[in-house]
């Protein structure tokens, strides 16, 4: 704990202290505040699909390298979801310790600038002792729901949808992490990824005061209620983070916060977007901030009934609108 506090303090000192931090946490536009509009019929129908997908994944038990059968079943379930939308699925397979693992990849080819790619990804594995409803069945379900919305019309840029394997320990932040393998191969091929959006734990929301925590000293800048979705980038991805925040706020009546912070801040780099940073691509994580809000994080109690599917549906729709705009832009 003291180590990261020291590093954070050094980063603040090097960047001009609290004034610099304020500039990294300020996002354009205004977050929605107060009760949102009634959920639409489309959002209610999406919530039913999201819950069904989360329950199906959690019904497989922990989806982990220690239970390879559960990983394969999860991959088959997610591939079927993409194929049901008319998408072809490719396995990006690789071997670790004599066992094959696979990321799942589907594309909606661009109609005007197909070489320019907007990538959306979510990891489908869990820690060894958790069914992983929020972390990360919620992100996987959101990706399928977004795919449903995004395949309804063509876009100038190519949309690439990826389910990543092996995000959790013991592969986390190692060269064997599924997204690390994939991002490295993208860079090797010269893929022109203009933006990467990582969907990481999106289903847990609370309105009570004190339901949201932060690493020091971020509590000075953000609310204490866990009712928002966060868009998180690093300093190199600051422009993309700010742009995504502005697009989300314009499209979706849902509370949102954003930050573009040095990766040493705890939580900032804790998912697959980090792999794309390391490969030189701009990337942003959308998250409910799990360890700072959800008491079931990485626990056996991370169960489907703890999630708010209507709010997840609204967030997925808002993020789909963000991706749609990114895929249209010049």
Tens digits of residue pLDDT in 104-143: 999 999 999 999 999 999 999 999 999 999 999 999 999 9
C-alpha distances in Å from residue 181, one per residue of 26, 34, 51, 201, 275: 33, 42, 30, 21, 8
Predicted local confidence at residue 17, as pLDDT: 62
Here the CATH number for the domain that contains residue 204 is 3.40.630.10
CB 304, CB 55: distance < 8 Å: yes
Give the pLDDT confidence score for residue 34 in this predicted structure. Answer: 81
Q: Is the pLDDT of residue 324 over 50?
A: yes
pLDDT of residue 6: 41
Q: Which tens digits make up the pLDDT trace of 208-263?
A: 999 999 988 888 889 999 999 999 999 999 999 999 999 999 999 999 999 999 98
**Predicted local distance difference test score (pLDDT) of residue 16:** 53
How many domains, the chain? 1
Q: What is the DSSP letter of 165?
A: P
316 versus 20: the higher-pLDDT residue is 316
**Residue 135: both structure tokens together:** 């972390």
**Spatial distance between the Cα atoms of 155 and 17, rounded to a whole number of angstroms:** 42
Distance between CA atoms of residues 99 and 104, nearest Å:
16
Residue 40, domain extent: 2-328
Buried b vs exposed e over 52-62: b needs ≥16 C-beta within 10 Å? ebbbbbbebbb
Q: 229: helix, coil or strand?
A: strand
CB of 177 closer than 8 Å to CB of 269: no
């Amino acid at each position: 704990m003291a180590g990261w506090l020291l590093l954070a303090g050094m980063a603040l000192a090097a960047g001009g202290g609290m004034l610099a931090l304020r500039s990294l946490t300020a996002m354009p536009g205004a977050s929605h505040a107060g009760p949102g509009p009634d959920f639409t019929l489309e959002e209610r129908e999406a919530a039913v699909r999201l819950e069904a997908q989360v329950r199906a994944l959690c019904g497989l038990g922990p989806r982990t390298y220690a239970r390879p059968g559960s990983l394969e079943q999860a991959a088959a379930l997610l591939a079927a979801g993409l194929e049901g939308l008319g998408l072809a699925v490719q396995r990006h397979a690789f071997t670790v310790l004599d066992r094959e693992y696979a990321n799942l990849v589907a594309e909606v080819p661009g109609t005007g600038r197909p070489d320019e790619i907007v990538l959306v990804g979510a990891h489908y594995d869990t820690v060894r002792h958790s069914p992983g409803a929020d972390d990360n069945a919620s992100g996987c379900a959101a990706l399928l729901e977004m795919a449903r919305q995004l395949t309804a019309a063509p876009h100038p840029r190519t949309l690439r949808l990826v389910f990543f394997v092996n995000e959790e320990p013991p592969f986390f932040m190692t060269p064997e992490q599924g997204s690390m393998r994939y991002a490295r191969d993208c860079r090797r091929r010269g893929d022109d990824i203009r933006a990467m959006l990582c969907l990481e734990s999106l289903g847990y929301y609370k309105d009570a005061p004190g339901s949201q925590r932060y690493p020091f000293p971020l509590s000075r800048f953000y609310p204490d209620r866990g009712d928002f979705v966060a868009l998180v980038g690093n300093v190199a991805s600051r422009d993309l983070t700010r742009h995504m925040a502005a697009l989300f706020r314009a499209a979706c009546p849902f509370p949102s916060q954003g930050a573009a912070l040095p990766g040493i801040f705890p939580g900032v780099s804790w998912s697959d977007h980090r792999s794309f940073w390391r490969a030189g691509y701009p990337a942003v994580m959308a998250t409910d901030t799990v360890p700072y809000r959800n008491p079931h994080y990485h626990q056996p109690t991370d169960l489907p009934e703890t999630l708010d599917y209507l709010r997840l549906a609204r967030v997925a729709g808002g993020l789909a609108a963000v991706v749609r705009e990114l895929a249209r832009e010049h």
